[in-house]
Chain A
C-alpha cells in the first residue's frame, strides 16, 4: 500500500474508469477534457487537465482554494477560454450554446442582485432554458426551505445559495456542475441537498461537484479528483479509497482472549489486548480481523467511520510530486 498504488491510481484520471460495475466503455463521456490549460497572463490557472466523467457518475472535484477548481468549471461553461487544449460537455464543444440548456450550474461565487423577487428570477431562468415542469420550483423551494418572495438583493447568504441550487436543479439537467455547493447551507439543508444529488445519480444523470474538503463529497461521490497548484494530481475511486481507509476498531468478548490469536493478521496494526477487550487499527479490509475475532464470542464491537480525508492528506501531501511524475 502506498507509493506504487498512489502513482498507479493517479493514472486513472486519463482513462475511463468503470464506476459501480457498469460498462462505461460503450458510453460517451459527459465531460471530457484533453490537455486543458489556462493561464491568466503569466499566472497559471490550470495546466494540462485530462479527465473524463461518465454518465450517471457523481464526480467530486477537490482541492484547496485557488487550486484550479473554479478555473476548470468556468472553462467547461465557456465563461473563460482555454489557453490550449480542448473540452467537450455532453458531447458538444464548450462553445456550443444550445447544450447549456441541458446543464445546471451553481457558481462558486454566486451573486444575485437586483429588485427582482427570487421566483421572478427563477421563472426567467426557466423560460430561457425552455421551461420547467409545473410546480417544480415550488417543490424544490419547499425541500430546501427557501423563501422565494424576497427580493434578490436582500437574500441572506444561505438563501442565495438555496436559490442558486434551485435554478441549477429545476430543469432536471443531464449534467450538474456545482462549485462549492454546500457553502453557506445549514446542516439540515446540506443533507437535503445530498439527497437531491443522490436522486440525480439514481436517475442516471451526472454531477460534477467541487469542494475543498473530501468529507463533503465522500458520501455521494463515485470518484474524486484532486487538483493542486493547477494540476490534477490524482483521481480515486471512492469505494477503493474506503477500502484502504484506516479504521480504529474495538472488540469486547465475553471472556479474556489470547493476544497471539491476533498477531500477524494482514493489515492489522497496533493490537492491544487487555483481558476481554481488543483494540487495533486496520488498513483497508477488516476481513482477516473479523475472521480471527469470530473464533471467540463477541459481545460488542465499535468501528469508527473511516476518515478518508486522512488518507487523502497523507498520500497526496507527501507523494503528490511522485504521483504526478507517474501521470
Chain B
C-alpha cells in the first residue's frame, strides 16, 4: 500500500472505528426489535401508517409493508437513517482529504513531499474509499447476521445488493465533498453544498414520486439511483449502480484536475 494511503488510514482510524460502532449499535437495536413487530403485524402496520401524514409517509419510503421482514429492513435500514449516517461519515472523511488539512495548515508540508498533486488527491481518495468500504463491509455482515437471527426472510443476495447501494451512495457524497474541498480548500463550503445536495436529492426522489411538478427532477438526484431499483425486494439494479459509480469516478477526476491547478493555502 502506498505510504500516504497507509498514513492517511492511520489518521482516519479513530473516526472509522467510532462511526462503525455508532452505525452497528443503531443496526443492532433496530433489527433486534423486529421479532416483536412480526408477532403483532396489524398493530404495528396501523401504528406506522397513522403516525405519519401522506407526504411524510413518502419521505419514509411508503411504510406500506413495514411488518414484513423485507419492508422492515427497507424502511428502518436502507430507506433513510442508515444512508444518512453513512453519508455523514463519508462526508466527514471527504473533507479530511484536502480541505481540513488545508485549513489547519498541515497540507503545506505534505505538498512539499515528492508526491505530485494528482497522486496526493488520488491516494487520499483511496484511503477514504478503503475506510468507507471497511465500515460498509462490517455493517453488511452485521445486517446479514441479524437478519438471519431475527428470521427476516430476506434473501442474502438482496441484502448484499442493498448494502452495495448503501456503499455507493455514501461513496458518491463523500467523493463530492472531497472534490469540493480539493477545488476550493473550504471545509464549510464542501459540507454545505454536499449536505444540501444530499437532503435536496432525497426529498426530490421521495416526494417526486407523487408530486408531478418535481418528478422530472428525480434523475438528477443521486438517491434516484439508490432507491428506485428497490434492491431489498428485487436484487441488483446494475444500471443504477453504474450511474452512481460513474458519477463518483467523474467527481474524483474533477477533484484531481481542480487541485492540480490552484494555489493552496492562501
Asked if A98 and B104 sit within 8 Å, CB to CB, the answer is: no
Can you name the residue of chain A whose Cβ is closest to the Cβ of B264?
A: A79
Choose among A77, A81, A124, A127 the residue that contacts B111 (Cβ–Cβ < 8 A).
A77
What number of A residues sit within 8 Å (CB to CB) of B?
32
Can you name the residue of chain B whose Cβ is closest to the Cβ of A45?
A: B266
Produce 1/0 per residue, A88-115, CB < 8 A to B. Answer: 0000000001111101010101111111
Can you name the residue of chain B whose Cβ is closest to the Cβ of A38?
A: B263
Asked if B109 and A167 sit within 8 Å, CB to CB, the answer is: yes
Residue numbers in A under 8 Å from B39 (CB-CB):
none
Given A77-B112, A97-B116, verify A109-B105 contact (CB < 8 Å).
yes
B12-30 residues with Cβ-Cβ distance < 8 A to A are 14
Choose among A98, A103, A109 the residue that contacts B112 (Cβ–Cβ < 8 A).
A103
Produce 1/0 per residue, A211-232, CB < 8 A to B. Answer: 0000000000000000000000
Choose among B3, B114, B261, B266 the residue that contacts A100 (Cβ–Cβ < 8 A).
B114
Produce 1/0 per residue, A59-97, CB < 8 A to B. Answer: 000000000000000100111110000000000000001
Asked if B11 and A107 sit within 8 Å, CB to CB, the answer is: no
Complex CA distance for A304 and B2, rounded to whole angstroms: 57
The answer, yes or no, to whether B42 is at the interface (CB within 8 Å) is no
The answer, yes or no, to whether B228 is at the interface (CB within 8 Å) is no
The answer, yes or no, to whether A125 is at the interface (CB within 8 Å) is yes
Asked if A97 and B263 sit within 8 Å, CB to CB, the answer is: no
The answer, yes or no, to whether A309 is at the interface (CB within 8 Å) is no
Asked if A113 and B112 sit within 8 Å, CB to CB, the answer is: no
Residue numbers in A under 8 Å from B209 (CB-CB):
none
Complex CA distance for A79 and B116, rounded to whole angstroms: 11
What number of B residues sit within 8 Å (CB to CB) of A?
24
Complex CA distance for A107 and B112, rounded to whole angstroms: 10
Produce 1/0 per residue, B247-266, CB < 8 A to A. Answer: 00000000000000111111
Asked if A111 and B114 sit within 8 Å, CB to CB, the answer is: no
Interface centre among B112, B116, B264 (most CB of A within 10 A): B112
Complex CA distance for A74 and B113, rounded to whole angstroms: 13
Complex CA distance for A164 and B111, rounded to whole angstroms: 14
Asked if B109 and A107 sit within 8 Å, CB to CB, the answer is: yes
B90-121 residues with Cβ-Cβ distance < 8 A to A are 101, 104-106, 108-109, 111-116
A-B contact list, 15 entries, CB within 8 Å: A77-B112, A79-B263, A80-B265, A81-B261, A81-B263, A97-B115, A103-B112, A109-B108, A110-B105, A112-B109, A113-B101, A114-B11, A125-B109, A128-B113, A128-B114
Residues of chain B at the chain A interface (Cβ within 8 Å): 3-4, 7, 10-11, 14, 101, 104-106, 108-109, 111-116, 261-266
Residues of chain A at the chain B interface (Cβ within 8 Å): 40, 74, 77-81, 97-101, 103, 105, 107, 109-116, 120, 124-125, 127-130, 164, 167
